[in-house]
Amino acid sequence: MQRFAILLPGLFLAVSMMYGQTPQATLLGRWYEDTLVGSSAYDNTYNEVWGFAVEGHEYAIIGSTAGTHFIEVTDPTQPTEVFFFAGKAQGKSIVHRDYETYNGFIYAVCDEGQSSLQIIDIRQMPDTAFVVYDSNNLVNRSHNIEIDTSQGMLYTFATSGGSGGFSAMRVYDLADPANPALIGAYNTFGDITAGHVHDGYVRNGLAFLNCGYDGLAIVDFTDPANPVALGTLPDYPAKGYNHSGWGDESGDYYYLADENHATPMKVLDVSDPTEIKVLGTFDAQVPNPNSIPHNQLVRGEYLY
C-alpha cells in the first residue's frame, strides 16, 4: 500500500504525534467535480473519505452531496473517477455520509433526507461495480457505521428506519453480506444511557462507543444478543462532546476526540477495559481557538 493521504477541506489533516518533527506533505494529485453543490448548512460539497484495494488497484471512496464517488488512486498523481453511485437522497440538505468495506462489498449510509442503506458489490472490480441493495427497510438515516470483520457484524450509530423508529445504535449480522439481518438495538451501557451513539470503533467484538455528552462506553459484543458493558467514562479531563476515537494496533491505547473548539485529544489506557485510565491530552500545537479534532485513525506509529 502506498503511503499518501486523501484530504478533504474541513477534515482533520494528518499530523505527526512527534512534536519535535515539522509536519510536511506534498500534493501529488487533485480530483474535483465542479458541477456538485455545497450543502446549505456548511457549503461542504464532500463529506467522507474511505478507501480499499483490489487486484493491485487502489481506490478512494469519496462521499458528496450527490452520492458516492470511486476514485482510482493507484497512480496518486492522476486520481480518476471510475464509478459514481447516486445517493437515494441528494442535494444541498446532505451533510454526512459514511462507508465501510467487508467481504467484497461497500456499505454506504447518509444522515439526511429520505436516505437508505446502500450495498455496492466490488468483487468484479476493476471491471465493474454495482448496487445490490438500496432500501430504507432497515436503515433510513445513520450518522456513522462500523464493521467488525472478525465477527461479520455491521454496527450503525444514531440510526432511524425500519420498524423500530430511532435507535442509539444497532447491530446487524452480515452472514449474507448483501442482506443484513438485524440482531438488536441498544442504548444502555452500564451506567450510561445514551440518547444516541455518535460513532464507534469495534475490534474482535470489543466496541468503544462515543456517546456524545454521556461519555465513552466499552462494551463486549462477542455475543451481540447479550452485550456486556465492561467500562464507562462519563467524566474526564477537558470533557466535551464525545465524538470519535481509534485504538492502536496493540489494543492497549485509545485516542479520543471531543467535538468542541480548542479541546485537546485524549490518550486512554484501555489494556483493562474495566479500568479505563486517561494518560494525558495533546493537540496539534496550532494557535487556533476554532480548531476541532473531528475524526482520527491510527496507522502504524502515527495518528491521522
Query: Averaged in consecutive runs of 10 residues, what is the pLDDT profile of the chain (304 residues)?
Result: 46 42 82 95 96 97 98 98 98 98 98 98 98 98 98 98 91 98 97 97 98 99 96 97 97 97 96 98 86 90 91
CATH of the domain at 103: 2.130.10.10
User: Which cell numbers in the block locate residue 175?
Assistant: 452472514
Predicted local distance difference test score (pLDDT) of residue 285: 83
C-alpha 81, offset from chain centre: 22
Contact 97, 87 (CB under 8 A): yes
Predicted local distance difference test score (pLDDT) of residue 10: 41
For 164, which DSSP code? G
Residue 170 belongs to some domain of the structure: yes
Residue 12 belongs to some domain of the structure: no
CB-hemisphere CA count at 13 Å for 261? 4
d(CA 86, CA 104): 20
Number of domains in the chain: 1
| Residue with the three cell numbers 463529506 | 47
Contact 171, 154 (CB under 8 A): yes
Residue 212 belongs to some domain of the structure: yes
Residue 273 belongs to some domain of the structure: no
Residue 120 belongs to some domain of the structure: yes
Predicted local distance difference test score (pLDDT) of residue 4: 45
For 212, which DSSP code? B
Helices (H) and strands (E) counted in the chain, each on its own, are 0, 24
Predicted local distance difference test score (pLDDT) of residue 21: 56
Residue 72 belongs to some domain of the structure: yes
Predicted local distance difference test score (pLDDT) of residue 287: 80
Residue 301 belongs to some domain of the structure: no
Beta strand 130-135 pairing with 117-121: antiparallel
Residue 163 belongs to some domain of the structure: yes
Contacts by 33-38, CB closer than 8 A, 24 or more apart: 33/64, 33/69, 33/81, 36/64, 36/65, 36/66, 37/65, 37/66, 37/91, 37/92, 38/65, 38/92
